[in-house]
């Protein structure tokens, strides 16, 4: 019976590269969204327009799906690499917990915060303008930023572990 899969070392290197590239892309895109795109939209006054809720909902829905894909790919890569006999990462259990935390944050953003913030931002009365942001929206923004900070710290640690193992 012939062996169909490539040898374990090249498979391990492939997964290391995939996970490093995925984490790097994900973390850099989060930083660009949070520190470049959102502040520029705020400064330009786009957040005060009536169409911002729809535009923000679409933008974050797409970005959240990309985050789910990246978190899933990172967790899959860690599971594959943890099955190798040479124990790829020294902190394997911690790395597993970190990967699950990243996936949980992506799930909370996708199915919790984004739909709730969109619902709060929609003005259902066309004849009445809304001048102030609801208190619940500000609380959700605080929760979003807390999750973003946790995501960046945990993701940077994971990226560092993968990168050190790759070199």
In this structure, is the dihedral angle defined by the CA atoms of residues 40, 43, 46 and 50, taken in order, positive or negative? positive
Q: Is the pLDDT of residue 98 over 60?
A: yes
Mean pLDDT of the 81-100 span: 81
> 114-121 and 135-166 are packed helices; what angle lies between their axes, rounded to 10 degrees?
150
pLDDT in tens, 26-76: 999 999 999 999 888 888 877 777 778 888 889 999 999 999 999 999 999
CB 79 within 8 A of CB 12: no
For 81-123, give the secondary structure using H, E and C: HHCCCCCCCCCHHHHHHHHHHHHHHHHHHHHHHHHHHHHHHCC
Whole-number mean pLDDT of the chain?
Answer: 85
Of 9-13, 15-19, 78-82, 145-149, the least confident: 9-13
């Amino acid at each position: 019976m012939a062996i169909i899969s490539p040898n374990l070392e090249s498979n391990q290197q492939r997964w290391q590269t995939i996970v490093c590239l995925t984490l790097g892309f994900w973390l850099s895109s989060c930083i660009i969204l949070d520190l470049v795109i959102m502040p520029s939209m705020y400064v330009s006054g786009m957040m005060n327009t009536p169409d911002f809720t729809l535009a923000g909902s679409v933008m974050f829905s797409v970005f959240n799906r990309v985050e789910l894909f990246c978190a899933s790919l990172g967790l899959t890569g860690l599971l594959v690499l943890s099955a190798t006999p040479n124990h790829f990462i020294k902190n394997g259990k911690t790395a597993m917990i970190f990967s699950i935390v990243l996936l949980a944050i992506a799930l909370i953003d996708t199915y919790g915060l984004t739909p709730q913030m969109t619902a709060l931002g929609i003005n259902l009365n066309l004849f009445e303008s809304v001048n102030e942001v609801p208190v619940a929206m500000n609380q959700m923004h605080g929760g979003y930023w807390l999750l973003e900070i946790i995501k960046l710290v945990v993701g940077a640690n994971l990226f560092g572990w993968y990168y050190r193992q790759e070199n």
